[in-house]
Amino acid sequence: MVTQTSLSEGRAAGIAIGAGLGLMAAIWTMMALLGFGVVFVLFAAAVLVNVFPAGIGLADSIVIVANHFLVEIAFSTALAFGMSTQAVAKRYTRAKIYIDRVGAAVLGALGVRILLSR
């Protein structure tokens, strides 16, 4: 979403979308750490519930949520800056189909791995 917004609307719009997505990702992380993982049907939330051990303290949870938010913001901002330049946008557009296929294969493999490990 950040990529497409940055390509079509520019850098500022891409950063704004990234900030919103980062905030939601941090909220999902917080909810998963608080034990609300059972209500999530999203792949990312399911992964988060399995990554962190049960019984994490409040201070650790705050650090994890803050870190998640900051990483999301940093990545989205870097992505928006890159995708709003003509040279990067052209190269991305040419490579998009291959990037999508590799990403789908990696996510599929991770999903199968999680299923088989249970």
Three-point CA angle 29, 82, 104, nearest 5°: 55
Q: pTM of the predicted model, to two decimals?
A: 0.68
90, 93, 94, 98: CA torsion to nearest 10: 140
Cα 70 to Cα 6, 26, 75, 102, distances in angstroms: 19, 9, 8, 26
Most distant CA atoms of the chain, gap in Å:
48
**Cβ contact 51:43 at 8 Å:** no
Distance of CA 112 to the CA centre of its chain: 19
Amino acid 31: pLDDT: 82
| Structural domain boundaries in the chain | 2-84, 86-118
Note down pLDDT in tens along the chain; length 118 residues: 999 999 999 999 999 999 999 999 888 888 877 777 666 676 666 666 677 777 788 898 899 889 989 999 999 999 999 999 999 999 999 999 999 999 999 999 999 998 998 7
Amino acid 38: pLDDT: 62
Q: What's the Rg (C-alpha) of the chain?
A: 17
Amino acid 49: pLDDT: 66
3-state secondary structure of 87: helix
